[in-house]
Amino acid sequence: MDLTDQSPEEMYSVWALLPEPVHRRLLGLMAGLRAAHGGAVFEPHATVLGAMRFRRSAAVEALRAAAAGLRPYTARVASIGRYGVNLLLEPTREVGLR
């Protein structure tokens, strides 16, 4: 951590970006759901790490440490949650899950 960093603490999270065909399909689904039920506009994504409070330098350092040696991987949806659309991904060796 950069001890000279005086940036304000802010909320950070890590998102996995989706392949273009999936991204485009979800944009359409989300637009339809918003039209029918309301809701916030946001980019389709898979949350890798939920919101945590850091100064900027600490957030960058934490992300670099977490991503060190991590290569792209394929994730498969295990289930769909409610209260918003939450995709629970199956655990994989690539991300250190059993």
Coil vs helix vs strand at 92: coil
Whether the model clears a pTM of 0.85, i.e. scores above it, the answer is no
The average pLDDT across 19-26 equals 92
pLDDT in tens, 62-94: 888 888 878 887 888 777 765 666 667 777 777
Tell me which residue of 19, 13, 26, 35 sits closest to 85, measured CA to CA: 26
Of 9-18, 23-32, 68-77, minimum mean pLDDT range: 68-77
Residue 30 has pLDDT above 90, yes or no: yes
Whole-number pLDDT of residue 24: 94
Residue 13 has pLDDT above 60, yes or no: yes
Distances (CA, A) of 69 to 88, 92, 94, 95: 23, 15, 10, 10
